[in-house]
Amino acid sequence: MSTPRRVVTLPPGLSTDEALAFAREVRARGAQLLELRTDLHENVDAAKALAGELPLLVAERSAPLPREWVEAAAVVDVPLPGRSELASGDVRAEVLVSEHFEVPLTQEQAMAAWRGVPLGVSIKHVEPLGTPDRLDALLGLQTQLIGRFGEGRVTVLVTGPCALPIRAVLARRNALDFVAASPAWAAAAGQRLLADSVRAARGAPGELRLGILGAGIAHSRSPRIHRQPFDRIDLAPDAPVEQLVDALLPHYAGFAVTSPFKKRLAQHLGEGHEAINTLWREGRIWRGANTDVEGARVCLAKLGEGPYVVLGDGGAAAALRAAGGALVRVMRSPEVGNVPLGGQLVWTWPAHAEPPEGLCFAPGARVAVIAYGPPGRRIAERITERGGRPLKLGAAWFSAQARAQRAYWGRAT
């Protein structure tokens, strides 16, 4: 089974020099095609120069394709036949016939839509995901389309807030993998990051996937240290994560779980945990554990002797309670007044959450930061601004809990 070609869409609004620099950058990072779309790139007049940096996939959307784009392209993406003269014209590039459906389709409806398309072209079928439990039906559709048009000629994509892991599973047999160069902009809802797609291609053939579930996790280091493929599944805080993990059970060996899903998934599994940060597959069910307890033990040991005040009452606070017992007091946001807080503290609020307005620290207060990377730095700055002394313990916490996670994932069946 071949690896899909990775396609990155040129962000709109770039100058020619910026576009050429973008093409060079994503080529160096593993992109194999650069997409130009007529609905996004009205003023791109350097198609030939861009094609010199990275092969072009040019896509007709709301306006006809410029002739110079077609002449420079390696792949020409046109709507279903009958809506573009290029679909039946003399195009030297590979022809990709695509359709973006407005609603989720049954397999029968989808196959009927492609019935009149001649063999010998490549196709791209795009539709909204709908509910996560449609994954098996989408895989069935992909198999049927491959049976008609041939291996390496079919791409089935879905869009929507829960689409990312579904697209990752479909990518195993897709001809093209449309990915985002960075978290700052994606051409479609549900695109995974280019870096994750590149790492996934290094995984052993047939290897079941791992991933991390959370909100605002572009900074996560988990994909860098665990076996591949490992997907960053960045979801909205109110996403139906319970339905999603159930739909993904046959296709993923395990998940890391981070804010804000640790307590929700603990309740979903019903194993008695207050919060979990690790899922692994055991036959036909998910099992869960909270390896954050290992990270919490390391954090409290480095912070010094208790008692400890934990700021925030999410999944990390549950791990700190388990690690510190009676020495841990949890302080929720409404309980924070204007009195300076002293002693040994642990900040567990995520970096994107605003801390209580009156929060301040007494001189000498030591405040552990358990986030890392840019979020950890932002939290440390907030602590300093409020008079505290930040201790950056995120990396130590992360390493301790990750070692325990690998042991659980090694049990997956």
Question: Which CATH number does the domain housing residue 161 bear?
Answer: 3.20.20.70
Q: Which residues pair with 35 in a beta bridge?
A: 9, 57
Q: Among residues 161, 193, 225, which one ends one of the domains?
A: 193
* Residue 102, domain extent: 5-193
Tens-binned pLDDT, residue by residue, of the chain (413 aa): 568 999 999 999 999 999 999 999 999 999 999 999 999 998 677 899 999 999 999 999 988 999 999 999 999 999 976 444 454 455 678 999 999 999 999 999 999 999 989 888 899 999 999 999 999 999 999 999 999 999 999 999 999 999 999 999 999 999 999 999 999 999 999 999 999 999 888 876 667 789 999 998 888 888 888 888 899 999 999 999 999 999 999 999 999 999 899 999 999 999 999 999 999 999 999 999 999 999 999 999 999 998 999 999 988 999 999 999 999 999 999 999 889 999 999 999 999 888 999 999 999 999 999 998 999 999 999 999 999 999 999 999 999 999 999 999 999 98
CA 282, CA 384: separation in Å to the nearest integer? Answer: 45
- The total of structural domains in the chain comes to 2
Query: Residues of 317-339 as b/e, b for ≥16 C-beta within 10 angstroms?
Result: bbbbbbbbeeebebbeeeebeee
C-beta separation of 223 from 275 below 8 A? no
> Are 188 and 298 within one domain?
no
pLDDT for position 7: 98
CA dist list (Å): 325 to 81, 124, 155, 169, 297: 67, 55, 52, 41, 11
Domain boundary among 193, 225, 257: 193
CB 319 within 8 A of CB 312: no
Same domain (yes/no): 317, 173: no
**Do 40 and 150 share a domain, yes or no?**
yes
Of 193, 222, 250, the domain-final residue: 193
Domain presence at residue 203 = no
Cis peptide before 132 (omega within 30 of 0): no
Q: Do both 19 and 148 map to the same domain?
A: yes
DSSP state of 59: E
**Do residue 182 and residue 311 come from a single domain?**
no
| Contact call for residues 129 and 159 (beta carbons, < 8 A) | yes
Q: Tell me whether residue 382 is in a domain.
A: yes
User: Helices in 234-365 by DSSP H: which ranges?
Assistant: 241-248, 262-269, 292-303, 315-324
User: Domain for residue 232, yes or no?
Assistant: no
Residue 387 lies in a domain: yes
Are 28 and 143 contained in the same domain?
Answer: yes
Domain identity same for 24 and 157: yes
Q: Clarify whether residues 9 and 144 are in a common domain.
A: yes
Residue 186 domain-assigned (yes or no) = yes
In a domain, 256, yes or no: no
Check if the beta carbon of residue 46 is closer than 8 Å to that of residue 16.
Answer: yes
Is residue 280 situated within a structural domain? Answer: no
Give yes or no: residues 25 and 143 share one domain. yes
Whether 218 is covered by a domain: the verdict is no
**16 shares its domain with 161:** yes
Q: How far apart are CA 56 and CA 5, in angstroms?
A: 12
